[in-house]
Amino acid sequence: MFHPGEYPESVEFCEVGPRDGFQFESLAIPTELKIGIIRDLADAGLPRIQLTSFVHPEKVPQMADAEELADVFRTQPGTRFSGLCLNMRGIKRAVGAGLTNVDISIATNEQHGMDNAGMTVSEGVNHASEMIQEAIGNGMQVQIGLQTVFGYNEPGDTPLDQVLEYCKVFSEAGVESVSIADSTGLANPESVKERVTAILGVTGDIPLVLHLHDTRGLGLANMHVALQLGVRRFDTSLGGLGGCPFIPGASGNIATEDAAYLCETLGIRTGISIPGVAVQSRRIAAHLGRMLPGKLYRLF
């Protein structure tokens, strides 16, 4: 039994760089380069990798090769590969591509919902519920992601009681896991403690995943608090790549190498080769022609 204040013996990372990171870049990333990086990230011990997003290729050109990537990796053993879907068409594309894991993401803040998807939160919840049933009906495991849980325009402007209600609804809908995102990087250690503690009380045995952006430099501090609360799954991105096209100023996720190093210093197993990930961070940095936000990848 886990006791608050202790650390879990091990954690599991989902590498979201190939989706959350790559989609944010204006310079085209060739499919073959993506395939090489993803394959080597899997070899470096990443147990989960978010391959792509099934979105309109004209709106997010970097994700135009979603089916091709799924075809390459859907049968590769040892790593769970998933795709992000924002609507029913995306679910149907993921099913057609042969993926068995899908991520569904919705807004929890009314203004963000209108800015991002042109939907109220209630409309988004209803739509996501239909998507979940469609995916489960096709034999998929589903992770539901709740965006801007820690705030959109300012800290705490997403109502916690509504977040808890959505967590309860989706926990009862058959999802494999619930992910909560600090999309704008407004979280701090105190808000993480408050909100994660409350959400864990609702999700019960369903795994809780934290998706932390490092916009204000508190990503690892927030992760540290979550570890002490018993959270064992985190989204990370090689080299700290990422952002959000719909949130001005949002920077990338916590860097995979940096998060793994933090866990190592705390005696928490990750199963990840930090040098192995770092090579891929340097590889994509060379292609992009710039340094990435992460720290550890520069040391290997």
Beta-carbon neighbour count of residue 122 at 10 Å? 12
| CA contacts within 13 A on the Cβ side of 205 | 3
Q: What is the distance between the alpha carbons of residues 225 and 151, in angstroms, rounded to a whole number?
A: 18
Say which DSSP state 42 is in. H
* Tokens linked to 112: 């963000």
Q: C-alpha 89: how far from its chain's center?
A: 21
Q: What is the distance between the alpha carbons of residues 238 and 254, in angstroms, rounded to a whole number?
A: 8
Distances from the Cα of 273 to the Cαs of 36, 48, 71, 156, 259, in angstroms? 17, 14, 26, 36, 12
Helix (H) or strand (E) holding 270: none
Beta-carbon neighbour count of residue 78 at 10 Å? 9
Give the residue numbers annotated as catalytic, written as ranges.
Answer: 244
